[in-house]
Structure 1
Amino acid sequence: MIRPAQRGPRERLVEAAERLTYREGAGVGIAALLKEANVARRSLYEHFGGKDELLAEVLRGAAAKDLDAYRAAMSAAGPDAARRILAIFDHLEAAVTAEGFRGCRYLGADLALQDPEHPAHAVAREYRAELHRLIQHELDRLGHAESADEAERIMFLIEGTLASAVTRPDARPARIAADLAAHILRLGPADASKRGRATSAP
């Protein structure tokens, strides 16, 4: 019987960092990471050059999985652009009510890592930019004149859901956010354009 290849130090480091940083935050110490991964300190530096790039790699993996999950939820909703956007909040409802949910990885990393040049910040920015592009694409299909701004508002609802689900889970923030997103979508291209002119008037 052929056994699967044992995971190497690199894979064990990533898996350990993924678990610990989500459970304890991005400020978890190197010693704890090495112990969890059962690897020597040398392996960390050989594969990642240090803890910073390991944390960035964990976020890259999480971002790829999260974006795939959003795309899958939107695809399952069918071709209608509005339904595809609202499906994001159905996905969030399931995510934030799942056992073990502890908040948004990207927000947690941004708050914990004070160095603005930390590579994890760039990963978080690109993740948010890609999610913004997915939403804006659907708003463009709906003909929203201010699709970039509307996508930003929906991003605000997504991130607010992830934050509120930690502190006020009983409020069901994903459902509240879905109602607000539906209101944004109901404004329609013409109404959105009028609102833009009204707010820009002296």
Structure 2
Amino acid sequence: MRGGPRDRLLEAAKRLTYSEGPGIGVDALLKEAQVARRSLYEHFGGKDGLLLEVIRQAATEDAEWMRATLEAGGRDPRKRLLGVFDALDRVVTQPGFRGCRYLGADLGLADAGHPIHQATSAYRRRVRAMVQHELVELGHPWPRRAAEQLQLLIEGVLATGAASTVAHPGRVARALAEAVLDQAG
């Protein structure tokens, strides 16, 4: 692990909260990052600030992944959207896949007022806006509703990929997404 204490804390927290969940102890984070407790408080104000920054950084990276995945589908909005499910299937079938970081954070932090819930909600709104944009381009008659349906499928792939015996949840969800897109006529 390289970098200064802040970077090492972020790297350790990103890895450990994904593999162990947001309930990971401060001592384990400090040990993994090889930093003193003081560094955690100086850079993040505590564990909650560190977890929030992990979610913010992950959301930026994941939104970029979504944008790049959509762009890989060329100009056809239908192909772009269906390509998301193909890409998700590749992600969730990789060894070590542990599910959706955002769902894990939401479920692991029961306090509804925790700032992480605001960050995970903001990320979901961002994804839904990208999907809705594609649906508008497709000429879908109900882009908002269809975006909600596709987002549910996206999140379902991520949850199912971590906790189910479905071999290729992205493929299953893709077939359902085709039915949503077919409403565009």
Task: Specify the alignment match of 1:158 in structure 2.
Answer: 154
**Aligned 1:36-185 pairs, distance under 5 A:** 36-185=32-181
Query: CA separation in 2, counterparts of 1:182 and 1:106?
Result: 25
Identity percentage of aligned residues: 53
Query: CA separation in 1, counterparts of 2:28 and 2:15?
Result: 11
Task: Specify the alignment match of 1:199 in structure 2.
Answer: none
Q: Which has the larger radius of gyration?
A: 1
TM-score where L is the length of structure 1 = 0.88
Q: Describe the superposition over 1:140-190 as per-residue Cα deviations: whole angstroms up to 9, x where unpaired.
A: 11122211111000000011111111122443111010000011101116x
Q: What stretches of structure 2 of length at least 5 have no aligned partner?
A: none
Q: Describe the superposition over 1:104-139 as per-residue Cα deviations: whole angstroms up to 9, x where unpaired.
A: 000000000011121211110111000000000011
Task: Specify the alignment match of 1:196 in structure 2.
Answer: none
Aligned residues: 184
Deviates more, 1:64-73 or 1:147-156: 64-73
CA contact under 8 A between 1:86 and 1:182: conserved in structure 2?
Answer: yes
CA contact under 8 A between 1:81 and 1:142: conserved in structure 2?
Answer: yes
1:123 alignment partner AA:
A
Question: Aligned-residue CA RMSD in angstroms?
Answer: 1.1
2:87 alignment partner AA:
H
CA contact under 8 A between 1:92 and 1:174: conserved in structure 2?
Answer: yes
